[in-house]
Amino acid sequence: MNDYIEALGYLAPELALTALAMVILVWDLLKKGRDSSHLGYATVAGMAVIAWMLLGQWDSLGDSGRHPETILGMVVIDRFGTFFKLFTVGSLAVVALYVLFDKRERKHGIGEYYFLLVGAAIGIFFMVSTNNLLLLMLGLELLSLASYSLAGFHKGDKRSAEAALKYIVFGGLSAGVMLYGISLLYGLTGTIDLNAMGTGSEGVGLAAQFATSPVPVAVAVVLVLAGFAYKVSVVPFHFWTPDVYQGAPTPVTTFLAVASKAAGFAVLLRFIGALFMVEGVQETVMAYSERIGLLLAILAAVTMTLGNLSALRQTNLKRMLAYSSIAHAGYVMIGLAAMTTQGFSAAVFYLAAYYFMNLGAFGFLLYFEGAAGSEDVASLKGLGWRYPVVSIAMVVFLISLTGLPPTVGFYGKLVLFYAGVDAGLAWLVVVAGLNSALSLFYYFRIVKSLFLAQADDKSGDGEPGLGGLIAVLSVATIVVGLFSGPLQRWSDSGTESLGLPPLEESK
């Protein structure tokens, strides 16, 4: 029994998150008053406490960055997971603040809003810290179910309902495909533990199967990859993204674009790392990593090109950002396709960079929806002079999204491209470079509209608190870009804790 309680100690952040979710739900029921802003503040405070717990956990992990045992046979405590948990906690806090600042949200009874957000975070926490496919699937589904209801949160709004329906249909299908892949993997290897699959040799594990029947294994791996590709909206599983991002309430879109996408990538990195790259993986399995890398590289090239080309034609800012998030998924895939520790670390770093700039860009969208009452790029015109602080902040985010210095987006792209070239994917890096140039056109259409046009005096007031938060995020985008050392070390140490071959010091 003492072992049991000790094990629960490692799960303290997850337990705290669960307790927070329950408290929010019950508190909302007790008050029944329609003002639920205190729940938002409770969520933010809860996130601070959990972030503190996670930081303690980060420090307590030794040189390997990994707890030697698997907690309760399922949960892996390592810096990789903790990195993404911190990431989730941070974006959830910002999203909760966005909900608080969202003027249009006040007419709804929104206690459940925070409850569902925290519920989604519980799902993310479990899915990023397990090697067990069953728990992974469970976490993924918990995240998905909460996301479906969040996407349809504006019950009377047709677009929101459409978003929820499309999301649930696509999500259900891809979960089914993925489960089928998992069941095949289990049938072939006799285990649902990723590490055992990669390293097992006699009878169990992929090595034995690759020797006798490579085709079913390849089918199973591709099916599972399809499930992840849906979660991170990689072409050809991206069709839901624009409609869902556009229809969902803006804070929810922010959550989907930042936290949910990063979690999908975290699982994808862990999956590919554990199966093909971890130390101790059998030679026969390792031999396939090049093919998987090529598959991912092709997907990356197609994803970023299609995302950027579609974004060019958008007139609606929210939809444009949705396509831009597809394109960015393509950039992150470069790091995956490299199939090296350096590439993985670059992908993790880029996701963290993406956190700052994308939270900011969606925050601007929210601010602007409140002020101008529309989502069209055309109706932005001249607002740059009216709301200078927020608009300049947006320019910073757009510079960062394009990947120009001195922002964190520039540094993120640099490490990604560097890792890509090192892994012999120069062609992919060229494609990505051309894509960045392409993205300049639509990002700067926003800037042009903000500053190079006359305003027509229809807009109302913005939300000052929200403006302040956006300004802080834009400062962070620049500061982290200039002093990227600590973040770089964090993502390196997180990636190494997966058990990948260590990075060379000379880099």
Partner 1 sequence: MNEYIGIAVSFLLAGGVAGAMVFLGSTLGKKNPTPEKLAPFECGKEPFAIPMGRLAIKFYLTAILFILFDVELVFLYPWAVVYRSLGFLGLTEMGIFLVVLMVGYIYAWRNGALDWN
**Binding site residues, partner 1, CB under 8 A:** 1, 4, 22, 25-26, 29, 32, 215
Cβ burial of 80 (10 Å; 0-12, 13-18, 19+) is: buried
Cβ burial of 471 (10 Å; 0-12, 13-18, 19+) is: middle
Decide whether 46 or 343 has the Cβ nearer to partner 1. Answer: 46
Decide whether 28 or 463 has the Cβ nearer to partner 1. Answer: 28
Decide whether 84 or 148 has the Cβ nearer to partner 1. Answer: 148
Decide whether 32 or 158 has the Cβ nearer to partner 1. Answer: 32
Decide whether 26 or 48 has the Cβ nearer to partner 1. Answer: 26
Decide whether 107 or 458 has the Cβ nearer to partner 1. Answer: 107
What is residue 424's three-state secondary structure?
coil
CB of 112 to partner 1, least distance (A): 9
CB of 28 to partner 1, least distance (A): 9
Decide whether 6 or 290 has the Cβ nearer to partner 1. Answer: 6
Phi, psi of 152 (to 5 degrees): -100, 25
160 in Cβ contact with 244 (< 8 Å) = no
Decide whether 1 or 156 has the Cβ nearer to partner 1. Answer: 1
From residue 346, give the alpha-carbon distance in Å to each of 87, 332, 484.
16, 8, 12
Q: How many residues does the chain have?
A: 507
181 in Cβ contact with 189 (< 8 Å) = no
CB of 34 to partner 1, least distance (A): 14
Decide whether 30 or 107 has the Cβ nearer to partner 1. Answer: 30
CB of 1 to partner 1, least distance (A): 5
CB of 30 to partner 1, least distance (A): 9
What is the residue whose two structure tokens read 């600042």?
Answer: 101
From residue 73, give the alpha-carbon distance in Å to each of 17, 25, 68, 76, 83.
21, 30, 12, 8, 21
CB of 160 to partner 1, least distance (A): 19
**Would you tell me how many other CB atoms lie within 10 Å of the CB of residue 81?**
26
CB of 3 to partner 1, least distance (A): 11
CB of 438 to partner 1, least distance (A): 44
Give the bridge partners for 75, in sequence order: 71, 130
**Would you tell me how many other CB atoms lie within 10 Å of the CB of residue 456?**
9
CB of 29 to partner 1, least distance (A): 5
DSSP, residue by residue, 227-260: HHHHHTT-TTS-THHHHHHHHS-HHHHHHIIIII
Decide whether 123 or 264 has the Cβ nearer to partner 1. Answer: 123
d(Cα 42, Cα 178) in Å, to the nearest integer?
36
Residue 435, token pair as written in the block: 């894509």
CB of 158 to partner 1, least distance (A): 19
Give the bridge partners for 78, in sequence order: 66
> Any alpha helices (H) in 373-484, and if so which ranges?
383-386, 388-402, 408-422, 426-451, 464-482
Cβ burial of 196 (10 Å; 0-12, 13-18, 19+) is: middle
CB of 25 to partner 1, least distance (A): 6
Decide whether 27 or 444 has the Cβ nearer to partner 1. Answer: 27
CB of 67 to partner 1, least distance (A): 23
- Residue 351's nearest CA partner among 396, 415, 294 is 415
What is residue 71's three-state secondary structure?
strand
Beta strand residue intervals within 242-378, DSSP E: none
Q: Does 406 sit behind a cis peptide bond, omega within 30 degrees of 0 on the bond before it? A: yes
Decide whether 30 or 68 has the Cβ nearer to partner 1. Answer: 30
Residue 494, token pair as written in the block: 């997180």
Residue 292: what residue type? I
268 in Cβ contact with 336 (< 8 Å) = yes
Name the region of 85 (left: φ>0; alpha: ψ -120 to 50; beta: rest): alpha
